[in-house]
Amino acid sequence: MQKSVWFPALLKSVEGEVLACGAASVIPETGDINFKSDFVPLFPMGEVLMIARLDEDYEIANYTGKVYISNRKLMRLVSVKREIVAPADYVFRDLPFKGTLRPLREERPPTRRFLKFRAKAAEQDERTYEVDVVGLGQDCLVFHYDGDTPFYRNQRFLVKTDLPINLPETEIEIEEAFILGRKSSYSCKLETLTDEERQRLMQFLMIYGIP
């Protein structure tokens, strides 16, 4: 049985007026959605309302349904229709996927600090790195890697993920690196996916990442 997860949300009229701020949870077995807050306005059964799921400053999904339960602490909507409204730059996070990186040959590392990399270039080009893919968006991939040798900004790789959709190996370029000892996080630009492949990726993430 799937576990319900509470997430930040707004209760809205179908015209978009914000009625309350609180938290919501989708009931996996039925698709109904609960909304709770310190104060929930009362509405008659059958009234059509909307709940907007929030992630930081983003509204990423709307749930429109009919009021079934309405009291001062809780509202439940049934016969719910979900609309994904996540913008193009939204990154789905806390993902559980794996990836394999293969370095692309570099002309030269960006600073003197990485000159030792050049001496090992041929060896490094043959290596692969198993990473945790924890974030994905239309143009972005975020991975974690616990390795002795940190990667650096503008370094490029080929990546193959274990997502259950047919995505080819694609090029990525590291745009941001956050290195704390051996615990490293890297935000990368997805370089070579086609528009069709990006659309397929986003369709999968919307279904997987937003219940």
Dist CA 192 CA 7 (whole Å): 33
Other Cβ atoms within 10 Å of 183 Cβ, number: 10
Give SS3 for 106.
Answer: coil
Distances (CA, A) of 151 to 80, 105, 143: 45, 13, 11
In the block, tokens 């692969």 appear at: 128
pLDDT tens string 156-208: 999 999 999 888 999 999 999 998 777 799 999 999 999 999 988 988 887 77
Give SS3 for 112.
Answer: helix
CA dihedral for 190, 196, 197, 200, sign (positive or negative): positive
How confident is the model over 43-69, as a mean pLDDT? Answer: 94
Residue 135 pLDDT greater than 60, yes or no: yes
Q: What is the pLDDT of residue 116?
A: 53
Q: What is the pLDDT of residue 106?
A: 59
Tokens of 138: 């239309």
Q: What is the pLDDT of residue 5?
A: 81
Q: What is the pLDDT of residue 172?
A: 97
Q: What is the pLDDT of residue 122?
A: 47
Q: What is the pLDDT of residue 84?
A: 83
Q: Which residue has the higher pLDDT, 29 or 133?
A: 133
- What is the identity of the amino acid at 18? V
Mean pLDDT of the chain: 87
Residue 130 pLDDT greater than 90, yes or no: yes
Spacing of C-alpha 192 from chain mean position: 19
pLDDT tens string 68-93: 999 999 999 999 999 888 887 889 98
Residue 210 pLDDT greater than 50, yes or no: yes
Tokens of 85: 């409204």
Tokens of 186: 């890297």
Residue 1 pLDDT greater than 70, yes or no: no
Q: What is the pLDDT of residue 3?
A: 61
Give SS3 for 24.
Answer: strand
Q: What is the pLDDT of residue 77?
A: 98
> What topology is assigned to 91-209 in CATH?
Thrombin, subunit H (2.40.10)
What residues does 22 pair with on adjacent strands? 9
What residues does 137 pair with on adjacent strands? 91
CA dihedral for 149, 155, 158, 162, sign (positive or negative): positive
How confident is the model over 92-102, as a mean pLDDT? Answer: 93
What is the reported pTM?
0.70
How confident is the model over 146-152, as a mean pLDDT? Answer: 81
